[in-house]
Amino acid sequence: MKLNSLLDVILNSRSGDITVLNRVIYVGTVEAGKTTADIEAYHRKLATLSGLFEDQMRGILLHFANDTVMHLLEGPSTGVRDYVEQLRVDVTKPLLHSSVKILLSTEDIDGYGFPMWTCKQLNLPRPDGDMNEKDPIAPHVFRLYAGLLEMGKDLLAKSGGELTDALDDMRNLYHEKLPGNEIVGSCIKSVYTTSLDGYCTVYSEEVQVLEESEQCWPQAPPLQY
């Protein structure tokens, strides 16, 4: 009797779909004179160049009143990886290169956390989010991430006009889950967040781990001596 491999079990749980989805969040400072429309058009162009088609690219790009941006991007791993690399090497991007910081990078997520991709302008002042560059930033990044995923979960339950209305009224509906202007600025200047160049130097592809004991399923019981 042939035992199923761990890969067989995983593929069965995914109905044979081998697509690996990744999620990344980055922040940055907008170049002077660039509008929300400019920022949206640039990021859509970048998606096309990276092979992220409309139905594959999900997430939210926020342009804050203090001329900073925060982008949560989800999509197939190769597309997301190429997207970030294109952003790094493109000297025409509407963001100050030295300001772009990676807040989070997650491989092989369970599924999309957002039903769409959109770009919105947002003014959400929260003075308590203005921190010193050496203040601990990790707890704030965690809260930012958790809030965005909660918002995405609520949006996933909507469609059509209901989804459009929710996005148009995002500030009122999700103000407790959205990050404020100041915390995004603090993430940019923090010494504990990773620069775009630093991230791309370290990260090139997903971690591939295969142990001999993982080649069969169920796992063999440990040896008893």
pLDDT digits (tens, 9 = 90+) for 52-92: 988 899 999 999 999 999 999 999 999 999 999 999 999 99
HSE-CB at 77 with a 13 A cutoff on CA atoms is 15
Secondary structure of residue 113 in the 3-state scheme: coil
Q: What is the pLDDT of residues 203-214, one digit of tens each?
A: 766 555 555 555
DSSP-based three-state secondary structure for 24: strand
Q: Per-residue pLDDT tens for 6-21?
A: 667 766 765 656 678 9
C-beta separation of 36 from 119 below 8 A:
yes
Element (H, E) at 119: strand 117-122
Q: Give the domain ranges of the chain.
A: 19-198
* Tens-digit pLDDT profile for residues 93-130: 999 999 999 999 998 898 999 999 999 999 999 888 88
Q: What topology does CATH give the domain 19-198?
A: Alpha-Beta Plaits (3.30.70)
**Is 197's pLDDT higher than 60?**
yes
Calpha distance 67→77 (Å, rounded): 29
Helix (H) or strand (E) holding 171: helix 170-173
Token pair for residue 48? 């096309």
This prediction's pTM: 0.84
Q: Which two tokens stand for residue 60?
A: 């939210």
> In whole angstroms, what is the distance from residue 43 CA to residue 83 CA?
9
107 phi and psi angles, rounded to 5 deg:
-95, 150
Q: Are strands 101-106 and 21-29 parallel, antiparallel or unpaired?
A: antiparallel
